[in-house]
Amino acid sequence: MSPEISAKDKMLWIEVSRDHITAYLHVAPGHEPTLNDIKRLLKKENITYGIKDDTKINIFLSNMDLYDYTLVIATGKPFTQGKDAELIYKFEKDARSTFDAELGDRDKVDFRQIGTIASVRENDVILRKEPAEQGKEGKTIYGQTLPGEWGMDVNISPGTGVRLADNRKDYIAEISGAPIISGGVLRVDPVYIVDGDVDYSTGNITFDGTIGIKGSILDGFEVNARGDVIVENTIQSARVTAGGDVVVKRGILTRNKGLISADGDIYAKFIENSIVEAEGSIIVENAIMNSSVYSNKRVIALTEEGAIIGGRTIAYDRIVVRNLGSTAHPKTYVQVGYKYEIQRRYMDELARLRGVMKQLTELQKNYEFASKTAGDDIEKTGYIRGKILKLDRVKKQMQEDIYELSSSRVFNHLAMVEIENMIYPGTAVFIDDSVYRVKKETKFASFKWDTDKKMLYLTSFDESGREFRRDSKRRAKTVIIIDDSRAVRQTLKLLLEKLGLEVVGEAENGRQGLELYKKLKPTLVTCDIAMVRMDGIETLKAIREENEDAKVIMISSIRDKKKVLECVVQGAFDYVLKPFVPGRVITVVKSALES
C-alpha cells in the first residue's frame, strides 16, 4: 500500500496510507521538532483519531535516529468482516450434499452414505437460516466511521411443500416427505416407497416426488420421478427418468436396452453395458465398463477400483478417474469440452455421413463398370446415375446440417481429463476435435487444451519425477488451389486461410495443378473445370489415379448436370457452384477435413 503524502515541508511531514488507517510522521535528520510542532501538524492535517500518546512521542523525539526518523503517529481502527450466513439443517442430509464437486474431498465420499431418503413431517422446521451479520465498524485517523463489512449471504428459496416462517429464518415443511435442495431451492417432495422390486407387482411407476425402491428395477420396466430415484439394489434393462438425482446403491446394468436419465446427478456403485445421461455429474464407486455415459458436468470414478474401461464417455467439464482403459487395451473413448446432447448428435451425423460417402463410392465404381460393360444400354447406366445424383443431394444436405451443428457447439476450453493412476493403450482422449491416442501406459496423466496452439496436450511425470508435456499429433491441413482466375484463387486463399488451412500452392491450369499435387501431397485440392492445358475433370481423374483417397472439391460456374455427374463419378468430394457463398465453401471444406 503506497502512502499518500499529505503534508510535506522539508523538515517535518506526515504520510497517510491509502486506506486512511495509518499515519507516518517523518523528520528530516538534523531537525529537532518539539511535541507542540507535531501536535500542530496533526491538527493542520485533521488527524484526530488513534494518535500516539505524548509519552511515546517524546520517547521518539529523544531517540529519532533509532527510529530511523519515522514514527507511526496515528493508527485508525480497521473495520471487520461480519459472520457469513449459516444454514442449519434440521434433517439428516445425504452424503451427496457434502460431496465436494470441486473434488477437494473426493476420497472422503462414503458411498454407503449416499442414497438415504431423509424424511420430515408436516410443520417440522427443516432448515434454519442464520442471517449474515455485519462486522464491527472501524474508524480512520481522520475520525471517519467505516461501516463493518457484511458476511456472505446464502440464497435459499422456499419451493413446493415449504414455507418461510414469520421470523424469516425458519423453513417449515408444509407436507410430510423428503426434503430436497436443488438449484438454491428447498422443497419437500412427497415420497413413494416400493418395498421390493419394481416388477409386475408394481408395474411402471410415475410419481410427482421422490421414489425410493428397496429392491431392484427389473427388465422392461419404467420409473419416472419428478424428484430423486433411490434404488437399494440394481437397475436392470429398465428406463429411469429423474427430475433430481438417480442413486443406485449397487449397479446399473441395462445390457444397452434401457436408458437412465437424470436432471441432477447420478450415483452408482458401477455401470456396465448401459446408456446413462445426466445434466449433472456422474459419480461411480467402481468401474464404468463398455457403456455410453454422458454428463453435462463431470464423470468421476476415483476410488481404488475407479476406472473407465471401454465404451464412450462424454463430459462437458471434466473426467476424473483412477484408471482409464485396462491391460486388455479395449477401445475406450473419452471426450470433454461439449455438452453431450449436441456432441452426440454431431458425432452420429458424422458417422451417418461416412456411411453415405461409402455408398457413393460403391455406386461410382458400379457406374464405371456399368459404363464399360453396358455399351448402349442407357437404362442400366441411367438407373445408377439417378441413384448417384440423389445420394449426392442427400450428402450435401447432411454436410449443411453437420456444419450447423458444429457451429452451434459451445466449447469449454477449461475442460480436462485427469487420470490418478494409469492410462492404457487403446484409449483415445478427445478435447474439441483434437485427439490423443494413447500408445504407451502412462501414470498420473492429465489432458488439457492449449488455447494458443489450439490443440490438446498430455502432461505427466517421467521416471525421475520430472513433469513433461506431449502435444497431440497435428498434421497441418494443406490445400492447393487450381483455377485460371487469379481473383478466384486469391478469394479462395483468403477464405481457406481463415479456416486455418495452409495454402501450399496455386496453379492456373490442370497440368500445373497435377504437378503441384504430386510434389506437395496436400490434404485437400480445390479445382476449377474450364481451364486450358488439362481441364478440371481430367485433372480430377489424374489426381485420383495418383491417390485414390485424394479429396478434390470442384469449384466451377458450369451448371451442366452431365458435368456435375461426371465429377461425382470420378470421385470429386463435392461440387461448389460459382459464384460461391463463403459459407458453402466452409461447409464443404470442413466436411472434407472431418470425413
Q: Which residues in this chain contact other proteins in the complex, by CB under 8 A?
A: 484-488, 490-491, 494-495, 498, 530, 532, 556-557, 578-583
Under 8 Å between Cβ of 491 and 507: no
Choice between 144 and 557, CB closer to other proteins:
557
Choice between 259 and 499, CB closer to other proteins:
499
For the CB of residue 582, give the shortest distance to other proteins in the complex, in Å. 4
Beta bridge partners of 289: 272, 309
The owner of cell 418395498 is 195
For the CB of residue 510, give the shortest distance to other proteins in the complex, in Å. 13
**282-313: b or e for each residue (b if 16 or more CB lie within 10 Å)?**
bbbbbbbbbbbbbbbbbbbbbbeebbbbbbbb
For the CB of residue 126, give the shortest distance to other proteins in the complex, in Å. 55
What H or E segment, with its residue span, contains residue 163? Answer: strand 162-164
Give burial (CB, 10 Å; 0-12/13-18/19+) of 462.
exposed
Give burial (CB, 10 Å; 0-12/13-18/19+) of 543.
buried
For the CB of residue 338, give the shortest distance to other proteins in the complex, in Å. 24
Q: How far is CA 435 from CA 253, 331, 438, 449, in A?
A: 29, 14, 10, 11
Choice between 322 and 489, CB closer to other proteins:
489
Choice between 61 and 586, CB closer to other proteins:
586
Rounded to whole angstroms, the Cα distance separating 304 from 107 reads: 9
CA angle, 37 as apex, 35 and 40 as ends, to 5°?
A: 110
Of residues 448, 451, 449, 450, the one with CA closest to residue 460: 448
For the CB of residue 224, give the shortest distance to other proteins in the complex, in Å. 46
Choice between 163 and 498, CB closer to other proteins:
498
For the CB of residue 554, give the shortest distance to other proteins in the complex, in Å. 13
Choice between 87 and 494, CB closer to other proteins:
494
For the CB of residue 570, give the shortest distance to other proteins in the complex, in Å. 21
What H or E segment, with its residue span, contains residue 26? Answer: strand 22-27
Choice between 500 and 583, CB closer to other proteins:
583
What H or E segment, with its residue span, contains residue 213? Answer: strand 210-213
Rounded to whole angstroms, the Cα distance separating 480 from 493 reads: 9
Rounded to whole angstroms, the Cα distance separating 538 from 567 reads: 10
Choice between 189 and 528, CB closer to other proteins:
528
For the CB of residue 411, give the shortest distance to other proteins in the complex, in Å. 20
